[in-house]
Amino acid sequence: MLLENIKTKIIKRFVISSRIDNFRTLFYRLKYKFPRNTSFHIYPNAILIVAKTATLELINGRFSINRVWLKGLQKKYHSELIMSEGSLLRIEGDFSMYQGASIFIDIGASLIIKGRLCLNTNSYIRCHQRIEIGFDTYISGNVTIRDSDLHFIIENGIKKNNTKPVNIGNHVWIGENVTILKGVNIGDGAVIASNAIVTKTVLARTLVAGNPAKVIRENIDWE
């Protein structure tokens, strides 16, 4: 029984090793000195542009870049992770970027990911100040999360604040084609329906939908 378990582990590691970009995986693992109890994999064709002064922290769990959902469903998409000078990406549990997922972290900005979640195909995170995403949150495909408008609105000669932090709670379900904009706080257990555009705070255990997103139901649960 013990020999069978050892054999299974060896085969599993060999299969994983044959599918990942071993050189870059080892390079970043050594560069950022990830703990031994963590797992880090860069799959082929991933795009990584990480500034010298950027910080990548993997506290525990597994971090995968350019992962494929099922063998045979590989598409011509490439995940990209771009970290500017002085930026921070902290991952505190399992997190996967699937093919086509994209993360950009601006100069001095911080992206905090609590774990047991993934960034699905063609979903984007654009972090210019601070974005935090809670534990066990499900992000569907074609989702955009951003904390900045990038450009300023000028009213009566006064520039409006174009960047505000985004905070997404634990166990949040974000449907396909959703856009979450700057300054939004989403409570634990909330559900954001497909195609919604979220511009204001969403309370815990609330279902919202529409453009702009409005409350549809309250005191909900999902699984």
Residue percentage of the chain with pLDDT more than 70 = 89
Both tokens assigned to 105 = 């972290």
pLDDT of residue 17: 47
pLDDT at res. 11: 44
Tokens 């809670």 locate to 134
- The b-or-e profile of 30-69 (16+ CB within 10 A means b, else e) is eeeebeeebebbbbeebebebeeebebebeebbbbbbbbe
At residue 81, does pLDDT exceed 60?
Answer: yes
Residues near 9 by Cβ (< 8 Å), separated by ≥ 6?
none
Q: What are phi and psi of 58, to 5 degrees?
A: -120, 105
Domain ranges of the chain: 2-218
Specify the residue for token string 């469903």.
Answer: 73
174, burial (CB in 10 Å: exposed 0-12, middle 13-18, buried 19+): buried
Within 8 A by CB and 6+ apart from 112, the residues are 88, 90, 92, 130, 131, 132, 133
**36-63 average pLDDT score:** 93
* Residue linked to tokens 């950027």: 54
pLDDT per residue as tens digits for the range 10-46: 444 444 444 678 889 988 888 999 998 899 999 988 9
Sign of torsion, CA 95 99 100 106? positive
* Tokens found for residue 178: 């959703």
- What is the pTM for the complete model shown? 0.87
Q: CATH number of the domain at 2-218, out of 2.30.40.10, 2.30.42.10, 2.160.10.10, 1.10.3720.10?
A: 2.160.10.10
- What's the whole-number mean pLDDT along residues 43-58? 94
Element (H, E) at 154: strand 154-155
Pairing status of strand 88-91 against strand 179-180: unpaired
Which residues are paired to 191 by β-bridges?
Answer: 173, 207
Provide the mean pLDDT of the chain.
Answer: 89
- Mean pLDDT on 140-155: 91
Overall average pLDDT of the 79-108 stretch: 96
Is 105 in a helix, a strand, or coil?
A: strand
> Rounded CA gap, 182 and 178, in Å?
14
Q: What is the per-residue pLDDT for 1?
A: 57
pLDDT at 145 over 90: yes
118-122: average pLDDT: 93
Residue 8: the pLDDT is 53
The confidence score (pLDDT) of residue 214 equals 96
Average pLDDT over residues 38-60: 93
Tell me the pLDDT tens digit for each residue of 168-198: 999 999 999 999 999 999 999 999 999 999 9
CB-CB contact of 23 with 44 (8 Å)? no
Q: Residues with Cβ < 8 Å from 133, sequence gap 6 or more?
A: 112, 113, 114, 117, 139, 145, 168
Of 75 and 177, which is predicted with more confidence?
Answer: 177
